Amino acid sequence: MKHTKILALLIALLLIVGGCKKTDKPDGADTNNPPVESEIPSSAPDDAADFPDEEPTVYQAEVLGPATIIAQLATEEMLNSYAPYSEFDEYSGTSDYGKILFTTNKTVQDFQFIAISYTPDGKMEFSVDEVLFELSEFGPEAPLAVTWLDAGTIPNRGFCYREANEIHYHTLTISGQDGSLLYNSYTTKIID
């Protein structure tokens, strides 16, 4: 008898739960007739040829996070692909020197190509000797090419830039293993 009551209760629950279903129709809606779709006039043209002189709108996303500056040894082919670009020739047109191409993913302020020296106290601390070239604003639209002469194993050139309230300093040198360009951060100064 007890099993019969439990079985009857389970069947009743299944009928209640199974009989309930969610519909997108409001109460009293006719479920036998499909809804009639009305045509809403569009303000967009059917054919883009109606506006031949209009360029499509291009939206550029803001790059979040810190800027990424990339420095790489430049080839003529690479430089041609980035035209226009800014250029600094420290050695007055001598073609025997290579070039470094600087690019960035977002605009930074006060970008400087600098001559640096180090303090031989065992800490390898660098200081700026001279600002060789500077841009008040450096962005992704116009890279910078500079002449390059690697003079030994201790970096003698670098770059720095300001982003928000920080100035980032980097050294430049050539790898003794594979001849690639190396750049390392050596300090960041907080400014007010």
Please write the tens of the pLDDT for every residue from 73-97: 999 899 999 878 999 998 876 666 7
| pLDDT greater at residue 164 or residue 13 | 164
* Six-digit token string for 161: 């830039």
Q: Which residues are registered as beta bridge partners of 125?
A: 119
Alpha carbon of residue 18 to chain centroid: 53
DSSP symbol at 89: -
* 161 pLDDT tier (thresholds 50, 70, 90): very high
* Six-digit token string for 146: 């500079």
Alpha carbon of residue 86 to chain centroid: 21
Q: Which pLDDT score is estimated for 121? A: 75
Gap between the Cα atoms of 67 and 114, Å rounded: 19
Please write the tens of the pLDDT for every residue from 15-60: 555 555 555 544 544 445 444 444 444 444 454 455 455 555 544 4
- Where exactly are the structural domains of the chain? 69-190
